Amino acid sequence: MTDRAQQTRTSWLATIARYTRDPDQPGSADYWSPSLDCASRDELRAIQDAKLAALTPFLYENSAFYRRRFDRLGLAPTDIRCVDDLPKWPVVDKTEMMADVETDPPYGTYTTHDNALWAARGWMMFSSSGSTGVPRIFRYSQIDRELWAWANARALHAFGIRPGDTMLICAGYGPHVFAWGVQFALAKMGVACVPGGGMTGEARAMLIDRFRPTVVTCTPSYALHLARVMEARGLDPARSSVRMVLVGGEPAAGIEGTRRRLETLWGARLVEFYGCTEASPHCGGYSCPASDRGPGPVTAHLMEDVQVWELVDPDTRQRVAEGARGLTVCTSLNSESSPQLRFVVGDYSVFDASKCACGRTHVRAVGAFAGRADELINLRGVKMYPVQVEAAVRAVAGIGDEYEIVLASNADGLDVMTVRVEHASPSVATDVAAEIRTRCEIRCDVEVLAPGTLPKTEFKARRVRDTRRAG
């Protein structure tokens, strides 16, 4: 490491530390860090600007990927010193990172964590959980672990999780960030957990019945599956000890039918946790006490003192105006190892910067998040997302939890879509097709299967089977 690289690292870490408030315990009953969670918009912008001024030289001196990009764009680190300067920097997407990994395997050069840092204070390695392309690996340091636990504790505190709760974490504990981040936050909060990794649904159902956790954490798809496993064993999830279901990894809170189904099944409040592996793996978006209790759509807070969030047009990649729909872009301001600059997370949302009824001042995603741009279905020129189909399926009474979208080409070479659902009556196909036509503006076939036919989801659901690519 050069002297300049070390100097910028020292300056970056000192800047992060300056704005890490209430690091070890909540500052009030309602907010883990009141001065940050309820900071004015001007105060939040000042924190972001101060961090960006230290971040860009750190990236330039400690990441070959960023140095090459700065040089290629004809920019110096001093050209980006505040939020208003960010549009000078074209957004970074996963394809650039995948190309970087192919050139410099196995880690690429897009993080500021090298072999020397791994040897000195390496903590844990994670991998992007996407299903396409070259896996992107991210190594994080012990400093990241502490920063991550602190940011996640702020989110879990906002959910209403407190000492005295017990959380059952239903995850495989592989190199994916969600469950690990929750567990380390619980340790900081002094909240007990039951690690439910490597277990069957039946075993987890027995844990709930026997040890009475108050919170269950998993993907939305698995929450549906686990509730059905409990019912098959003669247990009623709604009468269990579980008062809260914390989900992540898939959209849920913003899909009314899915949220309502989960809350009814469990007799519990649904809260959502949003983030990504790339832009420092701690919480980006989270529910609050007012997020799902008002007359309007649900919302999710975005933690702006540790990240800058923007929405960009999916085609031009330029910022959209507040209140307009766009793709999420994140600049991480709270990481030693992966402070990415304008990374396209790629979920559709609409932002609202007005103060929330809970008292928090950070920008909110209205309607939460509506699915990744790379999940877009293009069928005969009509574009839609799996979450739109899910909303249609959930709107029909009696439909099973599992469903599947099958894309194929017919004998005439025309692309067609079949949605496979579970229901006791085949006649429900007409209702499902009508809902899809209303919400997605396309006609499709609906195949109704007997309940229990489709495979049950154990982790992240893969709802789309595109056979067009197979031919």
Question: 428-438: per-residue pLDDT in tens?
Answer: 999 999 999 88
**Omega before 90 within 30 of 0, i.e. cis:** no
Residue 470 scores a pLDDT above 60:
no
Query: b/e map of 27-38 (b: 16 or more CB within 10 Å)?
Result: beebbbbbebbb
| Residue 415 belongs to domain with CATH number | 3.30.300.30
Domain finish residue from 372, 406, 427: 372
Query: Residue 295: pLDDT band by 50, 70, 90 thresholds?
Result: low
Query: b/e map of 435-462 (b: 16 or more CB within 10 Å)?
Result: bbeebbebebebebbeeeebebbbbbbe
Q: Given this model, what pLDDT does residue 409 score?
A: 80
Residue 263 scores a pLDDT above 90:
yes
Domain finish residue from 343, 372, 401: 372
Domains: count for the chain: 2
Q: What is the pTM of this model?
A: 0.82
Q: Given this model, what pLDDT does residue 468 score?
A: 79
Q: Tell me the one-letter amino acid at 263.
A: E
Which of 30, 44, 48, 43 is CA-nearest to residue 359? Answer: 30
285 compared with 381, residue with greater pLDDT: 285
Which of 460, 310, 282, 283 is CA-nearest to residue 386? Answer: 460
Residue 174 scores a pLDDT above 50:
yes
Q: Kindly state whether residues 229 and 273 are assigned to the same domain.
A: yes
Q: Given this model, what pLDDT does residue 386 score?
A: 81
Q: Kindly state whether residues 228 and 102 are assigned to the same domain.
A: yes
Say if 471 falls within a structural domain. no
Say if 137 falls within a structural domain. yes
Q: Given this model, what pLDDT does residue 467 score?
A: 83
Q: CA-based angle 84:87:91, to the nearest 5? A: 135
Query: Residue 460: pLDDT band by 50, 70, 90 thresholds?
Result: low
Residue 85 scores a pLDDT above 90:
yes
Say if 334 falls within a structural domain. yes
Residue 133 scores a pLDDT above 60:
no
Residue 163 scores a pLDDT above 90:
yes
Q: Kindly state whether residues 368 and 381 are assigned to the same domain.
A: no
> Residue 157 and residue 287: Cα distance in Å, rounded?
10
Q: Kindly state whether residues 239 and 324 are assigned to the same domain.
A: yes
High-pLDDT (> 90) share of the chain, %: 65
Q: Given this model, what pLDDT does residue 255 score?
A: 80
Q: Kindly state whether residues 228 and 309 are assigned to the same domain.
A: yes
> Residue 282 and residue 155: Cα distance in Å, rounded?
10
Q: Check: CB of residue 330 under 8 Å from CB of residue 345.
A: yes
Q: Kindly state whether residues 295 and 355 are assigned to the same domain.
A: yes
Residue 313: partners with Cβ closer than 8 Å, 6 or more residues away: 319, 320, 326, 327
Q: Check: CB of residue 83 under 8 Å from CB of residue 56.
A: no
| Residue 104 belongs to domain with CATH number | 3.40.50.12780
Q: Kindly state whether residues 400 and 327 are assigned to the same domain.
A: no
Q: What share of the chain is helix, strand, coil (3-state, %, to 5)?
A: 35, 20, 40
Residue 40: partners with Cβ closer than 8 Å, 6 or more residues away: 361
Q: Kindly state whether residues 121 and 208 are assigned to the same domain.
A: yes
Query: Residue 176: pLDDT band by 50, 70, 90 thresholds?
Result: confident
Structural domain for 359, as ranges: 1-372
Please report, for the chain, how many H helices and E strands are present, in that order.
13, 19
Q: Kindly state whether residues 296 and 419 are assigned to the same domain.
A: no
Lowest mean pLDDT among 33-37, 238-242, 303-307, 323-327: 323-327
Q: Kindly state whether residues 432 and 350 are assigned to the same domain.
A: no
Q: Given this model, what pLDDT does residue 151 score?
A: 95
Q: Kindly state whether residues 33 and 135 are assigned to the same domain.
A: yes
Query: Residue 380: pLDDT band by 50, 70, 90 thresholds?
Result: low
Domain finish residue from 372, 393, 423: 372
Lowest mean pLDDT among 8-12, 150-154, 460-464: 460-464
Q: What does the pLDDT look like over 100-115, one tens digit per residue?
A: 999 999 999 999 999 9
Q: Kindly state whether residues 1 and 91 are assigned to the same domain.
A: yes
